[in-house]
Amino acid sequence: MDREEPVPYADPTASVAPDSVAADLPIAFSDLLQLLANDRTRALLYYLTTRGGTVFLDELAAALDGDDILTALHHVQLPRLVDFHIIDYDEAAGAVTLTSIGDELRPALEAIEALETAPPA
């Protein structure tokens, strides 16, 4: 039995077509989706793009989840974001800064955060 190819949903009210957003990303769209699949990584990126500048780990811990998050940030989220060149992480100083790639992701992250926090229709 042959299946029809799925047709991507195109929201006629959207101001930007999904394909153009993906084309403008500084990293692969699939990589961004994989990163954003993790709640903690998503919250971290939202915070960094909203806050701007250099953020220290104690501030991140207070903003995100408390002291329990520091180990996960140090061993999971921060290294992954460094691997994608989205942040610079000065481990000795405990300082995290968005790179130019992270700055380029800002519009996509803001759009995704708005979708995530919007009340259900």
User: Domains in the chain and their CATH numbers?
Assistant: 27-115 (1.10.10.10)
pTM of the model: 0.76
Of all residues in the chain, what percent are helix, strand and coil, respectively (each to 5)? Answer: 55, 10, 35
Residues 64-115: pLDDT tens digits? 876 678 888 989 999 999 999 999 999 999 999 999 999 999 999 999 999 9
| Across 25-34, 44-53, 82-91, least confident range | 25-34
Q: How confident is the model at residue 22 (pLDDT cuts 50, 70, 90)?
A: low
Residues 52-76: pLDDT tens digits? 999 999 999 999 876 678 888 989 9
Helix axes 29-36, 100-117, angle to 10 degrees: 60
- Which three-class secondary structure state does DSSP give residue 39? helix
